[in-house]
């Protein structure tokens, strides 16, 4: 918040340490107090230039509260005359209450900003029993290997996978999916992250055969060719689908990468190590509940050979500067 005054930043930080119910209760009490005082000051504004200046600044700086607190609403403040009785104790209290209410309003705005912040889930694949707060069903015999962030899970490209019983990004209108992974070659088509919406009628996450089904889903896939790989990102929803794939943008195998796919409400984008590889407009409707498979497509075709260290899900489109940092390239 580069433009936020330090005092307001301090209050917002303080607010995060105080139970919200206490802040809400205090806000109501002080706002009622400020309301009464503002009424008094608005009357004083006709005669007192200090009060007039305060009410004018109150109106300018508080877009909502003046409509509630000041009965004259959008009426212009009368030009003050040179009658200025000295401030009374009540007037001094009014000023304090108004400042307090203004600061509390700033805290409330800060709270609203915090509430609008991204929901994010970080899945770290440093074990096989608890990842992202979920217990995966282990298929085959994935192993733990050294990764850029500690341990990572390696899949052998034959029969290793992890099936998660629920999924993130349910109801999200925008999204970012990131993964830290290492492709190791093998078959041409490898569908290694499948975030599926379960069909509420059939209970299926995907058709039993093939790679085409109507289920809404997010996919990370790779194609392996001539000792290199390239990325295939795919989104499907009831509104439409889109694959982002550029066979001309290939990368060496057997090193760690960060890959990302984002959707900002209009444009779907795919990145490798934070560098944009492809983008296209696509309509999108939010997904319903479902499950996640890592290491193979949900219907057990196109197994992955390589390792996964982290996957992060965010319910808004992150800018490249907000992505998980890419692992260092080998020297």
Write down the least CB distance from residue 302 to Ca ion, Å: 15
Cα 128 to Cα 47: distance, rounded to the nearest angstrom: 74
Write down the least CB distance from residue 143 to Ca ion, Å: 8
**Residue 278: strand pairing partners:** 270
Positions touching Ca ion (CB under 5 A) are 140-141, 156, 159-160
Q: In residues, how long is the chain?
A: 331
Measured from the CB atom, the residue of 141 and 146 that comes closer to Ca ion is 141
Measured from the CB atom, the residue of 110 and 136 that comes closer to Ca ion is 136
Measured from the CB atom, the residue of 142 and 168 that comes closer to Ca ion is 142
Write down the least CB distance from residue 127 to Ca ion, Å: 17
| Token pair recorded at residue 176 | 């970012």
Measured from the CB atom, the residue of 156 and 322 that comes closer to Ca ion is 156
Using CA atoms, how far residue 7 sits from 64, 81, 109, 135, in Å, is 21, 34, 14, 44
Measured from the CB atom, the residue of 132 and 142 that comes closer to Ca ion is 142
Q: Residue 274, Cβ neighbours under 10 Å: how many?
A: 17
**Helix %, strand %, coil % of the chain (to 5):** 25, 35, 40
Cα 259 to Cα 238: distance, rounded to the nearest angstrom: 25
Write down the least CB distance from residue 155 to Ca ion, Å: 8
Cα 24 to Cα 7: distance, rounded to the nearest angstrom: 19
Measured from the CB atom, the residue of 303 and 313 that comes closer to Ca ion is 303
Query: By beta-carbon distance, which residue lies closest to Ca ion?
Result: 140
Q: Residue 74, Cβ neighbours under 10 Å: how many?
A: 8
Write down the least CB distance from residue 181 to Ca ion, Å: 18
Write down the least CB distance from residue 151 to Ca ion, Å: 18
């Amino acid at each position: 918040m580069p433009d936020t005054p330090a005092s307001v930043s301090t209050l917002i930080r303080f607010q995060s340490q105080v139970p919200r119910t206490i802040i809400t209760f205090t806000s109501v009490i002080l706002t009622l107090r400020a309301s009464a005082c503002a009424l008094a000051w608005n009357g004083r504004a006709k005669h007192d230039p200090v009060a007039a200046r305060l009410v004018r600044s109150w109106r300018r700086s508080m877009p909502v509260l003046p409509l509630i607190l000041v009965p004259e609403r959008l009426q212009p403040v009368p030009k003050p005359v040179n009658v200025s009785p000295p401030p009374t104790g009540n007037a001094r209290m009014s000023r304090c209450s108004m400042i307090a209410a203004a600061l509390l309003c700033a805290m409330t705005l800060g709270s609203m900003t915090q509430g609008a912040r991204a929901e994010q889930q970080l899945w770290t694949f440093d074990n096989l029993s608890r990842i992202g707060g979920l217990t995966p069903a282990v298929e085959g015999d994935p192993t733990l290997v050294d990764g850029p962030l500690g341990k990572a899970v390696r899949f052998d490209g034959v029969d290793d996978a992890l099936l998660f019983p629920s999924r993130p990004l349910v109801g999200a209108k925008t999204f970012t999916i990131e993964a830290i992974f290492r492709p190791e070659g093998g078959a041409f088509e490898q569908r290694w992250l499948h975030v599926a919406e379960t069909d509420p009628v059939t209970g299926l996450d995907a058709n039993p055969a093939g790679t085409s089904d109507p289920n809404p889903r997010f996919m990370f896939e790779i194609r392996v060719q001539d000792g290199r790989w390239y990325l295939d990102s795919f989104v499907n929803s009831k509104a439409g689908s889109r694959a982002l794939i550029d066979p001309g943008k290939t990368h060496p195998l057997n090193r760690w990468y960060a890959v990302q796919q984002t959707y900002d409400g209009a444009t779907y984008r795919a990145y490798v190590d934070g560098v944009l590889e492809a983008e296209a407009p696509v309509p999108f409707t939010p997904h319903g509940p479902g499950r996640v498979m890592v290491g193979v497509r949900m219907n057990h075709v196109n197994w992955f050979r390589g390792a996964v260290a982290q996957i992060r899900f965010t319910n808004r489109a992150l800018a490249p500067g907000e992505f998980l940092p890419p692992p260092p390239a080998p020297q």
